[in-house]
C-alpha cells in the first residue's frame, strides 16, 4: 500500500470514525479534516480535532508506519512542530515532538472501508493499464473531467511560465529576445527544436533587425550561422547567400554551427530544417516587432495570420540546396501554425501577462487555446478509444499535463478524475 492511498482515505474520510481513540486511549473526534498540502510540510493543515473534550487546531501528518516520522527526519524540521495528530496504518512506536511531548496517534488498520482498498488495488495499481480510469470515463460526470482538465491546463501554463522566466534571465529580461528564441525552437518542431533554438541564441535579434530590410540578408544570416552554406552547388541564389554571409560574418564576427546538428533523416521533406529556416526567415523579414503584434492580436484569427508565412522562390523547387524538386509551395500549414501558437506564443503571452499584471491578456491567452482545434497525439488516441471526444487544444494540452504529472506517476489519488472513480465504484 502506498501513502497516497491513506491520504485519499483521510481526505474523503473513508473510515469508521465512531468511538475513535488514540493509541494512548484518549477519545478523539474529527471536527475539520483540514486542507491537503501539495507542497513540503505536513500532509494536511488547518485541521481541528477534539481529544477528551479539548479542541486542538493544527496540522496532521500521515504515514504507513509511525516510525516513518523518524525515517523522514520530521523531528528535525520545525514545520512539523504544530502537528496535532499522527495518522498511520501501523503503530510501531511512539513519536515525539522536539520538546519530547508525545504526538497523539490513531491507527487506520481495520478501520477504513475494505472495499476502498480493493478498488484502489484493482484500478490504480494495475500495471497492465495506462489509464485505469479509462473504462469509466463514459459514465463519469463530464463536469468532473472539465474541472480536472482546467486545473491541469493552468498547471501546464504555470510550469511553462517558470521555464520562460528562467530563460528570460539569460537575455537580461529582454522579452523580445526571449520570444525570438522560443519562436525559433517552435519552428524546429520536435526533431530540430534544439538546433533552431541554438541558432537563434547565436544570432542576436538586434542583428536580425538590422539586416531585415532585405529577405536575402536574413536568409544569409540564418543559413550561414546554421552551417548550411557549406555546399558545392553553383545555383545563383546560393552564390548570393554565400557572398552576403561572408560580408555579415566579417561585419559581426559571426561563428557558424556545425551542420551535423541538423536532422534530415526520417522527416518528410516539407519538415526539413532548410524549409523551416526559410519559413522562419520570411517571418522575421515580414513581421517586425513580432512579439508586440502577438500580444496586441484581438482574435485568434488575427494571431494565426501573423504566422501565415512561406519560403522564398528558390525553395518552391528545392527541399535542400543540392537537388531540385517539382514545384511545391512551402507555406506554413494551419496545423503547423497552431502548433507554434500552442507551444510558443500562448505560453509566452500568458507568462508576460502575469509579469505585468494584465488579466485581460492572461484570460485571452487561455481562451485562444479553447478556440484551437484539438491536437492529435498518443494520449488523445487512448482516451478516444473510450469514446471520449476532445473539443479543443485546451483539453488536449490539459491531457498532456495530466499524463505527465498524474497518470505516469500513478498519482491517481491526487487527480479529481481518479478520486471520483474510486468513490463511484
Structural domain of 56 = 3-112
The answer on pLDDT for 122 being more than 70 is no
7-28, pLDDT tens digit by residue?
Answer: 888 888 888 888 899 998 999 9
What's the confidence (pLDDT) of residue 410? 76
Residue 229 — pLDDT band, cuts 50, 70, 90? very high
- Which residues, 6 or more positions from 316, have their beta carbon under 8 angstroms from its beta carbon? 327, 328, 329, 330
Q: Which helix (H) or strand (E) holds 35?
A: strand 35-36
Distances (CA, A) of 250 to 226, 237, 244, 254: 16, 20, 10, 7
One DSSP character per residue, 260-300 reads GG---TTS-GGG-HHHHHHHHHHHHHH-TTHHHHHHH--SH
pLDDT of residue 286: 95
Q: Measuring CA to CA, how many Å separate 312 from each of 93, 149, 190, 318?
A: 75, 41, 23, 10
Say if residue 339 is in the same domain as residue 205: yes
Secondary structure class of 157 (helix, strand, coil):
helix
What is the DSSP track for 56-70?
EEEEEEEEEETTHHH
Q: How many domains does the chain have?
A: 2
Cα–Cα dist 89/15, whole Å: 12
- 212 and 339 share one domain: yes
Is 374 part of any domain? Answer: no
Kindly state whether residue 363 falls inside one of the protein's structural domains. no
Record the pTM. Answer: 0.80
Distance CA 65, CA 88 (A): 6
Same domain assignment for residues 214 and 104: no
Q: Examine residue 304 and state whether it is found in any structural domain, yes or no.
A: yes
pLDDT at 148: 95
Q: Does residue 205 sit in the same domain as residue 316? A: yes
For 314-339, the pLDDT digits (tens) are 999 999 998 888 888 889 999 999 99
Q: Tens digit of pLDDT for each residue in 56-76? A: 999 999 999 999 999 999 988
- Does residue 328 share a domain with residue 188? yes
Given this model, what pLDDT does residue 421 score?
81
For residue 173, count other CB atoms closer than 10 A to its CB.
11
In which residue are the cell numbers 518542431 written? 189
Pick the range with the lowest mean pLDDT from 106-115, 169-178, 256-265. 106-115
* 386 domain-assigned: no
Alpha-carbon gap, residue 409 to 180, rounded angstroms: 34
Q: What is the pLDDT of the chain when averaged over all its residues? A: 91
User: Does residue 217 fall inside a structural domain?
Assistant: yes
From 287, 316, 343, the end of a domain falls on 343
Say yes or no: 52 and 184 in one domain: no
Dist. CA 302–CA 62, nearest whole Å? 52
pLDDT exceeds cutoff 70 at 123 = no
pLDDT at res. 149: 96
**Nine-digit cell at 135?**
473504462
Do 210 and 281 fall into the same domain?
Answer: yes
Boundary residue ending a domain (321, 343, 365): 343
**Same domain? 47 vs 186:** no
Amino acid at each position: 500500500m502506498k501513502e497516497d492511498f491513506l491520504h485519499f482515505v483521510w481526505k474523503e474520510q473513508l473510515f469508521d470514525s465512531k468511538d475513535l481513540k488514540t493509541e494512548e486511549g484518549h477519545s478523539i473526534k474529527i471536527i475539520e479534516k483540514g486542507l491537503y498540502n501539495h507542497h513540503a510540510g505536513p500532509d494536511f493543515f488547518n485541521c481541528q480535532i477534539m481529544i477528551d473534550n479539548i479542541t486542538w487546531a493544527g496540522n496532521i501528518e500521515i504515514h504507513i508506519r509511525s516510525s516513518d516520522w523518524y525515517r523522514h527526519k520530521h523531528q528535525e524540521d520545525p514545520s512539523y512542530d504544530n502537528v496535532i495528530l499522527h495518522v498511520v496504518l501501523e503503530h510501531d512506536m511512539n513519536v515525539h515532538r522536539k520538546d519530547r511531548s508525545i504526538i497523539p496517534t490513531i491507527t487506520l488498520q481495520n478501520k477504513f472501508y475494505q472495499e476502498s482498498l480493493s478498488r484502489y488495488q484493482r484500478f490504480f495499481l494495475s500495471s497492465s493499464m495506462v489509464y485505469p480510469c479509462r473504462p469509466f470515463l463514459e459514465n463519469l460526470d463530464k463536469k468532473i473531467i472539465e474541472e480536472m482538465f482546467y486545473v491541469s491546463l493552468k498547471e501546464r501554463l504555470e510550469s511553462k511560465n517558470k521555464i520562460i522566466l528562467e530563460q528570460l534571465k539569460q537575455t537580461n529580461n529582454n522579452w523580445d529576445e526571449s520570444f525570438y528564441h522560443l519562436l525559433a525552437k517552435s519552428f524546429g518542431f520536435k526533431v530540430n527544436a534544439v538546433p533552431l533554438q541554438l541558432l537563434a541564441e547565436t544570432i542576436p535579434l538586434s542583428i536580425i533587425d538590422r539586416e531585415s530590410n532585405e529577405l536575402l540578408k536574413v536568409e544569409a544570416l540564418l543559413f550561414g550561422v546554421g552551417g548550411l552554406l557549406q555546399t558545392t552547388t553553383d545555383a545563383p541564389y546560393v552564390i548570393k547567400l554565400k557572398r552576403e554571409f561572408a560580408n555579415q560574418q566579417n561585419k559581426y564576427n559571426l561563428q557558424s554551427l556545425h551542420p551535423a546538428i541538423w536532422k534530415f533523416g526520417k522527416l518528410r521533406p516539407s519538415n526539413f530544417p532548410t524549409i523551416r529556416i526559410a519559413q522562419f526567415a520570411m517571418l522575421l523579414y515580414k513581421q517586425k516587432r513580432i512579439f508586440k503584434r502577438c500580444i496586441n492580436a484581438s482574435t485568434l484569427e488575427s494571431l494565426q495570420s501573423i504566422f501565415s508565412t512561406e519560403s522564398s522562390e528558390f525553395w518552391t523547387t528545392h527541399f535542400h540546396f543540392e537537388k531540385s524538386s517539382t514545384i511545391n509551395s512551402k507555406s506554413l500549414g494551419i496545423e503547423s501554425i497552431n502548433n507554434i501558437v500552442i507551444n510558443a506564443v500562448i505560453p509566452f503571452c500568458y507568462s508576460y501577462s502575469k509579469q505585468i499584471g494584465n488579466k485581460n491578456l492572461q484570460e485571452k491567452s487561455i481562451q485562444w487555446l479553447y478556440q484551437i482545434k484539438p491536437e492529435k497525439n498518443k494520449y488523445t488516441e487512448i482516451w478516444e478509444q473510450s469514446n471520449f471526444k476532445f473539443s479543443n487544444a485546451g483539453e488536449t494540452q490539459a491531457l498532456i499535463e495530466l499524463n505527465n504529472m498524474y497518470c505516469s506517476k500513478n498519482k491517481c489519488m491526487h487527480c479529481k478524475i481518479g478520486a471520483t472513480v474510486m468513490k463511484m465504484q
